[in-house]
A and B are shown apart, each in its own frame.
Chain A
Amino acid sequence: MFGYYLDLALRSLKRHRALTALMVLAIAVGIGASMTMLTVMHILSGDPVPTRSSTLFFPQVNPSPAPGERHAPFDMMDYRSATELWSAHRADRQALIASAALKLNAPGVNLPPLMAQTLSTTADFFPMFDVPFRYGDAWTAQDDAQRARVVVISDDLNNKLFGGADSVGRTLRLKGADVRIVGVLAPWRPSPLFYDVAGGRYAEGQTASFYSKPEDVFMPFNSGQDIVGHDYNVFTCWSTAQGSDLRTGPCVWVMLWVQLDSVAKVGAYRDFIAAYAQQQKALGRFVHADDTRMMSLLQWLDFNRAIPGDVRLQTWLAFAFLLICLFNTVGLLLAKFLRRSGEIGVRRALGASRGTVFAQCLVEAGVIGLLGGIGGWLLAMLGLWLVRRQPVEYADLVHLDVPMFLATFGLAIAASLLAGMLPALRASRITPALQLKTL
């Protein structure tokens, strides 16, 4: 039966080519626009560490000694709090993070010096965040302790400096210090760059920078203290301390990430940071001891409203657009079915039930949806190509994956069936007698 309906649908579509083309176009444009934006949303709102994001947490304390009305901890920590919490080793894994832009050159490579984004972190960073290696391996906890002059570099930097060759063992010069490469990462592009996310609530929706590429150079946190010195990116300071050491200064610039493998451990770690804050208050260093917080990775991304405002706005717009296209299709399908009132009257008189006519009309709507889906897929590819050409950090991430490809057709057919519902109902209600009289 379905085959017969399909045949009827194709015949009917061929008969009114212009009208069919209009309907297919309307669905295609609506689907193309909404799938483009939905794909961007899908990619930007994905889980950056799918294997273990639920075990990653971001502890926070409030080191400000000012007795003001602060109700929330800073987005980063001061050096002392961060390193003391880290040294306690109460989590399954823990990584300190601080970033800096440093001058880099490679002796023996004929390239001018460049400013490289660097991350000072601890050895757990690589296993904790599932960072893939191409050559060599991460440094060890021992290298952390001994302030070893070793680095891990990104695939991008390895391609730029060494043409993609195995550069383990070679030397780089970072702001005057010689460091040895012990590992080269495989291409790694978490979306967003979750471990660096901070300050999103001050960004007023302009959070595209959360989707930039990972740093080019990773070095042990303690070695970083020796090499980077004052050049770390500071999140903010709570007072003006001129010329003091960043490590003892009134500034927050270090982040701590911890991995906690069970619910019990999460609770225990919460208690641990609360106790730490109380202890620091007793020492007179903290004022706001109750200002501790620990969000999971995904909570932290939500809290920072990581998805750029522009993208969310465009997604709303795309769906309003799809709705307009749907109204359009409803109207055109109605026109198409009612124009065939005579034919439907004959079929009804020859014994077709209302249900049969309804099903037949829906099959026709479904075929239009399928054709519209193909058009929508092509338009979505065009739309994503346009997004990739935009000057935003996430441009290179955007592509149509398999689930989104299937969703395109699912959405197109669902939309066209929905649009076909009302016209099909009207067509099935046509009274045969009235139509036969006019034939």
Chain B
Amino acid sequence: MQIRPILATLRKHRIPAILIVLEIALACAVLCNAVFMISRRVASISLPNAIDEKELISVSMHGADPTRAAADIPRNLAALQGIAGVQAAGVISSLPLSTDNWGWSFGTQPDSVLEDRSSDQNTNVSLYMMAQGTERVLGLRLRQGRFFNADEYPGSLIGSGALPSTHVTVITESLAKKLWPGQSPLGKTIYSKPAYFTVVGVVADVLRPRLFGSDGLRSYHSSFFPMGPDQALANYVLRCPPAERERILREAVQKMQALNPSAVINGNTYEAIRNRYFADTSSMAWMLVLVCAVMLAVTAVGIVGLSSFWVTQRRAQIGIRRALGATRGDILRYFQLENFLLVGIGILLGMLLAYGINLFLMAHYELPRLPMLYLPAGALALWLIGQGAVLGPAQRAAAVPPVVATRAA
């Protein structure tokens, strides 16, 4: 099949050809960027989180009398542990992805003071404060060092201050890597004058209560602190078999409400907390999928429309070619190749445009660079759609009988 005659024909039908090329270019550019955005949202929805998400339920208690915390917390824990099916119970100040974030900035030098967030020397970290045994309830995975000793809990309180009054902490692997790249974090200290905390252990990456950027890395800057009976411990967590979650959740909420009639009690499975956090991300992703699908459909319809117009216009020409010995296959392949070329030019333009749009988005929306892989993938998708759309009109063209040549013109 020769390309020269196709190009010659396209020169004669410049406007429709340019229209198809522009439409494909725009569709390609939008498709690449939209799919990229979808994939980033999917990646953030599926960020790993090193706690036993499926086995956890949480019962939060707010508005209780803070002066009674020392008496209430052990009593509440004992009552929750008594529910049939509960394997372990603990209490923590906040949970990953609960949006209830207590963040603080720390430096690695003894004279580090709290400064603006934009400061390079300090790292913003989320704080989780927890009662003894809660690390087992959550299923934190210890990578180095140790968890807190029993004597490190009782004296550590936060009250209305900003930081707990302990001097030990357990941090995540990502945070350790960020603070002391290539060194062992054990025994090192983080500072925020006058407070300081020595790292005694490192755990696998746990997400923060609120994600920072969708790049994932900063979202794992979490730290854990031991805490005695303090009103900051507001989230009771229970570990139980996933199958019995719903029943245990109901019983736990009832029991807590009965024990603390004046407090505001809220119960959720951990999965529900995670789903709620990502609810609008996932609905945005579905919206993008819908837009892409409709956009491709519209593009395909446009190709069908223009190709059939073309075929009608060239009926006489096709008839002559058939009369001169061209087979049906020749005609079919002619239109397919023509479409392939047009879409190809469109894709080339589209890739440049996609790259341009990406540069614009990088400048305005803190988006990273579009991975190169998306370009050939987008190209392939459009080629397939182009070929699919042109098939019908091309078959109609192939069906033009040679006798047409003898009738008109």
Contacts and interface: CB of A to CB of B under 8 A. Distances in A.
A392 B22 CA distance: 36
Contact of A205 (B30, B192, B305, B365): B365
Contacts, number: 157
A19 interface: yes
Q: Give me the 3 closest cross-chain CB pairs, A-B, nearest first.
A: A103-B63, A335-B309, A242-B161
Nearest to B262: A113
B363 interface: no
A29 B294 contact: yes
B82 interface: no
B115 interface: yes
Contacts of B288: 317
B284 A310 contact: yes
A422 B408 CA distance: 29
Contact of A230 (B113, B160, B193): B160
Given A242-B165, A314-B287, A204 B301 contact: no
B212 A204 contact: yes
Interface stretch (B12-20, B70-78, B181-189, B326-334): B12-20
Interface residues of B, number: 61
Contacts of B396: none
A312 B113 CA distance: 37
Contacts of B162: 237, 240-242, 251
Nearest to A311: B284
Given A205-B365, A324-B27, 7 more contacts: A33-B294, A68-B113, A68-B115, A115-B264, A313-B361, A331-B302, A334-B306
Contacts of B192: 240
B299 interface: yes
A181 to B, nearest CB: 20
A70 B114 CA distance: 12
B378 to A, nearest CB: 14
Contact of B30 (A202, A321, A335, A338): A321
Interface in B26-40: 26-27, 29-30, 34, 37
Contacts of A386: 287
**A interface: dominant SS:** helix
A331 B115 contact: no
A208 interface: yes
A331 B37 contact: no
A324 B26 contact: yes
A426 B15 contact: yes
A70 B118 CA distance: 9
Interface string B158-190: 011111010000000000000000000000000
Interface of A: 19, 22, 25-26, 29-30, 33, 66, 68-70, 101-103, 112-115, 175, 202, 204-205, 208, 230, 237-244, 246, 251, 309-310, 312-314, 317-318, 320-321, 323-325, 327-328, 330-332, 334-336, 338-339, 386, 390-392, 422, 426, 438
A243 B161 contact: yes
A324 B16 contact: no
A426 B165 CA distance: 81
Contacts of B62: 101, 103, 115
Nearest to A422: B15
Nearest to A392: B280
Nearest to B290: A386
A229 B6 CA distance: 80
B298 to A, nearest CB: 6
Interface in B287-311: 287-288, 291, 294-295, 298-299, 301-302, 305-306, 308-309
A29 B297 CA distance: 11
A333 to B, nearest CB: 10
A341 to B, nearest CB: 9
Nearest to A25: B301
Given A309-B365, A335-B305, A26 B298 contact: yes
